[in-house]
Each structure stands twice: as C-alpha cells, then as structure tokens.
Amino acid sequence: MDIKKVVVIGAGTMGSGIAQWFTQQMCSVELVDNSQEQLLKSLQSIHLSWDKLLEKNKLSLEKITEMKRSLFIKSLDEVSKDADLVIEAIIENLDVKKDLFKKLDNHFSSQTILSSNTSSFPIELMATAVSSERKKRFVGLHFFNPATIMKLVEVIKAKDSDERLCQDLYQWFESNDKKPALCKDSPGFIVNRVARNFYGEPLRIVDSDDEFKMKEIDHILREVGGFKMGPFELMDLIGIDVNYSVTCSVWEAYKREPRFAPHALQKQMVEEKRFGRKVKRGFYKYD
C-alpha cells in the first residue's frame, strides 16, 4: 500500500495532530475545516511546532521547508478527488458525520479510502451514508492525543470493510513507526472501553468539584501508578466535551450499564463550557 495524498477533515485538536503526523511521513496533506479561523490557527500552530523542532535540531531545514510546502488548507470543494486516504476528525456527532460522509462519497474517486477518527460511534453506522462499493473502502482509524507522539492507531474493520485493506493499513502504519492494533467495530473499540473506568472511578471518588482531591488522585496515578498523566489531567487534555460525549455514547451502546455511566460533573462542566486545556479552563486552570 502506498499512501501519498491525504485529506484530513476537521482541524481541531485531533485533525491538526493527524495532519501534522502525515505531513511528517512526507505525504501531501490537505486540511479542511468549516471554520476558516480554526484552519488558520491550526496551520500556524503546526508551523510553529516544526520551527521549534528546527531550533532543537530535531529536524533539518530542508525537511521542514519540504513539509511546509506539502501541507495545504482548503475548503471541501477544493480538495483533490484522487486522494489515497481521507480521515474525518470533526465533532463527535453521528448525524453531522453521516452528512459529511455522504458528501465525501460523492466527491472522491472510487479508490479513495474513507476513514473516521471517531472515539465511540460504530463505523458501520457511519458507513450507512456511503455506497455499497465504498463500504469496502471505509474503516475506522482511531488516533490518540497528541497524534504526532502517541504511537497507537486502532484500525477498525467494520462489517463490510475489506479485510485485506485493513491488513495493508496495519502494515503501512507499522512501517511508519506507529503501533497499530486491529479492532472489532465494538463500542469504544479497545482503549476507549478500557479507559472509561480510568475516568469514571476517579470522578466517583471525588464526586464534587474539589481541586485538592483531583490533584491528589492525579498525583497518585502518575507518580505511584506510573501513568503518564492522571485522569483529571488527561480529561482536560482530551477535552471535557469530547470525553463526555464519548462516555455517553459508550454508556448508551452498553444499554446504560452503570459502570459506564457519565458523572454529573462532566455534564455540568460542558454546560459551563469548561472544556479543558483548549479553553484554558477544565478541572484545572491554564493561564
């Protein structure tokens, strides 16, 4: 499999990181968002991150110049119809995603692979928006935050996804220094199912907006448990809104099993727009 031309839809936390990572693999990348402001912000922050790598001598000037020339921001109508791979990383809303996939199915060549970075929706449900031919070339590709650093990519085979295509994608990621995992199309796939309790139990222990207790739990899991980040720090990084919507959809998919239930504090924070690091206010403040 050769992936040279990639389109990433959604230039938020994940889309930006995914676009940056693919450009670093020397792919030509077109980044799309329905907010022009977000697109410019994303391009700027990717360039800034490369400039920092240059300062630290981690990448050469030639490579950075080449990468800057290979990353484009575009509107959906302008993107190349013959892309090898499209990755959708827009908001976690099933109807909005299905609407988008319908458009993508019409826009791209029959050979283009369509994929979703959804955290929780069944790939099969999104694939209902595309033609039966395209369903074979429709998969889940679930990256982790930050996508440039986290090695894991869950490659999700839906009911109609071509088995060989999933294996080829697995190998392509492996040869590009990621650690892929082939997953069933089940709620939360592997990580987001296991991780529900990493967030849910600490929320139930704290049970209130108590920063002192949160710090204590983060400290214990980080320093004693050996995790890179504590649960509250990680939820702030993921985005409280994103994490809440994943929690709700996994909980619904498992017929509201109590162990997956969202905590009232998550809902309250979403209502208060305390979305985490991206707005500088979540469980903690970031100034």
Active site positions, annotated: 119, 142, 154, 192
Question: Rounded to whole angstroms, how far apart are CA atoms 162 and 178?
Answer: 21
Residues 141-200 within binding reach of ligand NAI (CB under 6 A): 143-145
The b-or-e profile of 124-138 (16+ CB within 10 A means b, else e) is bebbebbeeebbbbb
79 binds ligand NAI (CB under 6 A): no
89 binds ligand NAI (CB under 6 A): yes
Q: Please choose, out of 127-135, 164-172, 219-227, 236-244, the segment that lies near ligand NAI by the rule CB under 6 A.
A: 236-244
Structure tokens that stand for 167 in this block: 């294996």
DSSP for 112-159 reads PEEEE--SSS-HHHHHTTS-HHHHTTEEEEE--SSTTT--EEEEEE-T
The residue within the footprint of ligand NAI, chosen from 34, 45, 49, 176 (CB under 6 A), is: 34
Query: Within a 13 Å sphere around the CA of 226, how many CA atoms are in the beta-carbon half?
Result: 0
**Min dist. Cβ of residue 216 to ligand NAI (A):** 24
70 binds ligand NAI (CB under 6 A): no
**Min dist. Cβ of residue 33 to ligand NAI (A):** 4
11 binds ligand NAI (CB under 6 A): yes
Q: Please choose, out of 91-99, 174-182, 200-208, 218-226, the segment that lies near ligand NAI by the rule CB under 6 A.
A: 91-99
Question: Rounded to whole angstroms, how far apart are CA atoms 26 and 55?
Answer: 20
**Min dist. Cβ of residue 142 to ligand NAI (A):** 6
**Residue among 149, 150, 165, 180 nearest 85 (CA):** 165
Q: Kindly state the DSSP code that residue 216 receives in the 8-state scheme.
A: H
35 binds ligand NAI (CB under 6 A): yes
122 binds ligand NAI (CB under 6 A): no
239 binds ligand NAI (CB under 6 A): yes
Q: Is residue 47 within 8 Å of 68, Cβ to Cβ? A: yes
Question: Rounded to whole angstroms, how far apart are CA atoms 286 and 268?
Answer: 19
203 binds ligand NAI (CB under 6 A): no
45 binds ligand NAI (CB under 6 A): no
The residue within the footprint of ligand NAI, chosen from 10, 122, 230, 282 (CB under 6 A), is: 10
Q: Is residue 8 within 8 Å of 14, Cβ to Cβ? A: no
Residues in contact with ligand NAI by the rule CB under 6 A: 9-15, 32-35, 38, 89-92, 96, 100, 117-119, 143-145, 238-239, 242, 246
